[in-house]
Structure 1
Amino acid sequence: MPEITSVDVERMTSALFIEPGVRSPSFTKFWTLLVLAALIASAGVVGDSTATVIGAMIVAPLMTPILGSALAFVLVDRTHLVRSVLLVLCGSAAVVAVGYLVGWVAAPPDDFAGNSQVAARISPHLIDLVAALATGTAGAFALARTDVSDALPGVAIAISLVPPLAVTGLLLDVHRYHDAGQSALLFGTNVAAIIATGIAVFLAYRVRAAAAAAGRHVGRLRGRGLALVGALLVLVAVPLTVGTLSVTHDRQLAADAGPVARRWADGHGWEVEAVSARDGKVEITVVGLPPAPDPEGLRAALDGAGAGDAPLLLHVLGGDSLLCPAHGGQCKAAHTATVPNPAS
């Protein structure tokens, strides 16, 4: 592995450490680009435009203070560590605020229910942590190696920083608080992964020794700090694991309910158009000619197939949507597709 020189250390610190003050070019550049990226991301999410959201990822400068936090941690530079962390926190709050304001002006009537950009950022799973770890490693590697610095724009696109914060603000505006928390979790996952992998890469490249050779003060790196970073990764991994297990359960539930629903529908001369499951609730859409089939029979069939714990939301095209509680409860008309879980 090529060694980091004192020249490389100066290049990295000048690129990552943002000095405060309105007269600081790096400070004004950071805040200008951040606000613009927040506006672009919010507009892209509202318009459900992938290209616009990708543009926000390229413009967004949040990667700089996040990697700056990792470098300051490795050098035990408390001043720049505090500054970088504050920039990450204040910048994140600013993006959420911009998203909230954009949502206040332009939130759609369905509260982003059919928005693919929102849907992609409110169900973080363990695979998102794996992707964030790989992307954070690539970013730190590209920063340490001048011969691969051209990869940084690709890293900016791969890591999702500003868009989930914009989604958080937009969802807070329409009172979707749980989903807002999920998009914030995605952002926190990416931040934790970048910091952890950045620290690992900088240590592997012996940045501390190169900084000391360059005459910079390098503090003593304690094991407690590294343990704290590891605990941070574990902290975000726990809800991601829960989310992954929930999605796996929903997929299995939908797979088990599909054949049962089709046999039931075929017996009444109807067809199953869609079968899905979310948060432990089965949702089935059927289509056919009147009279509508008896939903109690479907509820009983699901109970017999081992899905008795799962509430059922049955959409009958041309008729009412029917909600059938778990454990064979009586089916009732549901006037909206979004209903409270009767099993809770």
Structure 2
Amino acid sequence: MRDAVFFEGDRVRSQHTRFWLLLILAAAIATAGVAADSTATVIGAMIVAPLMRPIQGTMLATVLGDRKQLTRSILIMCAGALAAIAVGFILGLLLVQPMTAASNAQVAGRVSPGLIDLFAALATGVVGSIALVRSDISDTLPGVAIAISLVPPLCVVGLTLESGAWTQALGALLLFVTNVAAILATGAIVMAIYGYSKLRLLEVEDKEAERRRRVRVYLTTATMVLLVSGPLAWTTAKAIADSGRIATVQNYLDDLTEDTRWAVVSVVPREDDKIYAVVKGTPPLPDIDQVYAEMDDAGLDVEHIVLEFIPSYTFDVNGERDNF
């Protein structure tokens, strides 16, 4: 396990070279995949990315009480994360269109993590830790790399920072921190179940001090998970609330435009906490003041609803025009 996750031994230089080469390439591939909205390309970057190694190294060094490797793994993990963000930011400078959740589905899927992402990360972390302990199931590691998704969120951080979307960048960074916390927490539990946490206890003379250290480690790991759970719970609750608001507005506008020359195209929330409803049809426009007055009478929060009307005409081969 030390050979699998630590940067040490006679080949430490080649280990570092391999790590940084693969990380930069994986970040470039992930950024390109996000910009092109290509799920297959992003998955390829997940498989190439080597960032799981220093994260699991941090976990194993913590369990074994190896301070030297703990410091080294944390530094490599943080430096690798910053490098991936930098690659995303630099490549974002080459793009004409801003990369935000409103314009890119890959970005949108990574800037609003919820509790379900934490549950998925915990389950994936368990699989990754067991694969580290048991070589007979190590063939699951590519699947773990795809499921845990470490580099793509960091590239999204860089892209959204370059686009000026600071809130979305924080959301993508939260997803990465959630995945890291899940790997550390589940790794410590798996190591304890398999008995590896006892190795350090057998080596030290002051066993009571080692037990206290282990308690601090577990408390720190649990605190990390709880800290990320708070923002994740908030985003989950907000997503549920937004879904309820959207459904209410959607249903009302569908009923309002039924048997008219207008139809609802989309109803979506925006970062300004407003709901934007796009309606398409044939002019003339309805009385907007009356529409808002009726929505207000129906109990809708009209202060947070923006209506966008798009004129639409349909022509056939004979040049005859009709409403859409």
8 A contact 2:85–2:154 mirrored in 1? yes
Query: How many angstroms apart in 2 are the aligned matches of 1:242 and 1:21?
Result: 48
Question: Percent identity over the alignment?
Answer: 44
Does 2:101 correspond to 1:108? no
Q: Is the CA contact (8 Å cut-off) linking 1:19 and 1:27 kept in structure 2? A: no
TM-superposed CA distance for 1:175, in Å, is 1.1
CA RMSD of aligned residues (A): 2.3
Query: Which whole-Å CA distance do the structure 2 matches of 1:149 and 1:310 have between them?
Result: 55
Q: Output the CA distance in 2 between the equivalents of 1:162 and 1:21.
A: 28
Equivalent residue for 1:297, pick from 265, 290, 296: 290
Task: State the match for 1:227 in structure 2.
Answer: 219
Larger deviation, residues 273-282 vs 288-297: 273-282
Paired position in structure 2 for 1:135: 124
Moved more, 162-171 or 291-300: 291-300
Report SS of the residue matched to 1:222.
helix
Cα 1:250/1:88, change in 2 over 3 Å = same
Q: Is 1:276 the counterpart of 2:276 in the alignment?
A: no
- Unmatched tracts of structure 2, length 5 or more: 313-324
Contact 1:165 1:187 in 2 (8 A): yes
**TM-aligned CA deviation for residue 183 of structure 1:** 0.7
> Is the 8 Å Cα contact of residues 35 and 99 (structure 2) preserved in structure 1?
no
Q: Which runs of 5+ in 1 are unaligned?
A: 1-11, 320-344
Number of matched pairs: 306
CA deviation digits over 1:159-199, x for unaligned, max 9? 11000101111111111111111111111111111111111
Report deviation, 1:310. 5.0
1:270 Cα deviation (Å)?
A: 2.1
Task: Give the corresponding residue for 1:15.
Answer: 4
In 1, the alpha carbon distance for the partners of 2:189 and 2:275 equals 44
Query: Which residue number corresponds to residue 243 of structure 2?
Result: 251
For residues 1-344 of structure 1, the aligned pairs below 5 Å read 12-19=1-8, 24-105=13-94, 107-112=95-100, 113-210=102-199, 220=210, 221-266=213-258, 269-278=261-270, 280-308=273-301, 311-318=304-311
Name whichever of 223-232 and 126-135 sits farther off: 223-232
CA contact (8 A) 1:250 1:278 kept: no
Distance in 1 (alpha carbons) for counterparts of 2:201 and 2:28: 41
In the superposition, the TM-score normalised over structure 2's length comes to 0.88
Q: Distance in 1 between matches of 2:99 and 2:139?
A: 39
Contact 1:22-1:28 at 8 Å conserved across structures: no
> Helix, strand or coil: the match of 1:291?
coil
